[in-house]
A and B are shown apart, each in its own frame.
Chain A
Amino acid sequence: QQQVKQSPQSLIVQKGGISIINCAYENTAFDYFPWYQQFPGKGPALLIAIRPDVSEKKEGRFTISFNKSAKQFSLHIMDSQPGDSATYFCAAGNSNSGYALNFGKGTSLLVTP
């Protein structure tokens, strides 16, 4: 069964707006939560990751918010740009399992000019 559930499936945001993608997980053993960006024909690229001991992590325009009690985490892309148009995947892993990643189904983001 899908261990990480991601929504929405697709998202359209105007340039300069905020893109928000949400993920939920069930397995409380997960202790590593990365986000990946994938362009057509390319492999996923690591954007940002968070551990459950912090509630928020920011790197440039990308912010992860993490809610351990709700078992949810989200990616916020501030000042979204057309170049951000891509598919975004959340994932979860466990240090005791070698950080083998369980991915969400992905969100296709389109940023319009």
Chain B
Amino acid sequence: DAGVTQSPTHLIKTRGQQVTLRCSPKSGHDTVSWYQQALGQGPQFIFQYYEEEERQRGNFPDRFSGHQFPNYSSELNVNALLLGDSALYLCASSSKRETGGFKGAFFGQGTRLTVV
């Protein structure tokens, strides 16, 4: 059973460019959340997708946008990249329909984005 998979693992972009990161959730999961983890810090919540709609959003500018597809996979898009966007971007999947309630959010290995 594959866990959460993210692609690519590493990415280098130039300031001002746009980037798209991808995530496939754990089998059976329907909810995808994205987090940004700066070096030496805890992950910061960006947004969450369920049923192809953004359901929750953290304190991130509109340059950060996303999408969820019918197969529950998700993309994170960042426009007009800044040097400060350099971070590890993590995808976490979970399920809103688990018997017995919420069983937790499970993270992928992340995409390391470097903006130069």
Binding site for B on A (CB under 8 A): 6, 32, 34, 36, 41-46, 49, 89, 91, 95, 97-106
- With A43-B109, A43-B110, A44-B107 known as contacts, the answer to whether A99 contacts B94 (CB < 8 A) is yes
* Contacts A6-B42, A91-B42 known; 14 new A-B pairs at CB < 8 A: A32-B102, A36-B107, A42-B109, A43-B90, A43-B108, A98-B33, A98-B50, A98-B55, A99-B94, A101-B43, A101-B45, A102-B45, A103-B44, A106-B40
- For the complex, is B48 an interface residue (Cβ under 8 Å from A)? yes
Q: Residues of B contacting A100 with CB < 8 Å? A: 33, 45, 48, 56, 58
Whether A103 pairs with B109 at a CB distance below 8 angstroms is: no
Q: How large is the interface on B (under 10, 10 to 19, 20 to 34, 35 or more residues)?
A: 20 to 34
Q: Residues of A contacting B61 with CB < 8 Å? A: none
Q: Residues of A contacting B109 with CB < 8 Å? A: 41-43
Q: Which residue of A lies closest to B44 (CB)?
A: A103
Main secondary structure on chain A at its contact with chain B? mixed
Whether A97 pairs with B44 at a CB distance below 8 angstroms is: no
Whether B105 pairs with A46 at a CB distance below 8 angstroms is: yes
Total A-B pairs, Cβ < 8 A: 59
- With A34-B104, A43-B90 known as contacts, the answer to whether A106 contacts B41 (CB < 8 A) is yes
Q: Residues of A contacting B58 with CB < 8 Å? A: 100
Whether B42 pairs with A89 at a CB distance below 8 angstroms is: yes
Q: Which residue of B lies closest to A43 (CB)?
A: B107
Q: Residues of B contacting A97 with CB < 8 Å? A: 56
Within 8 A of A (CB), among B64-99: 90, 92, 94, 96
* Measured CA separation A32–B103 after assembly (Å): 10
Q: Residues of A contacting B56 with CB < 8 Å? A: 97-98, 100
Whether A101 pairs with B105 at a CB distance below 8 angstroms is: yes
* Measured CA separation A102–B50 after assembly (Å): 19
Q: Give min CB distance, B36 to chain A, whole Å.
A: 11
Q: Residues of B contacting A6 with CB < 8 Å? A: 42
* Measured CA separation A61–B104 after assembly (Å): 20
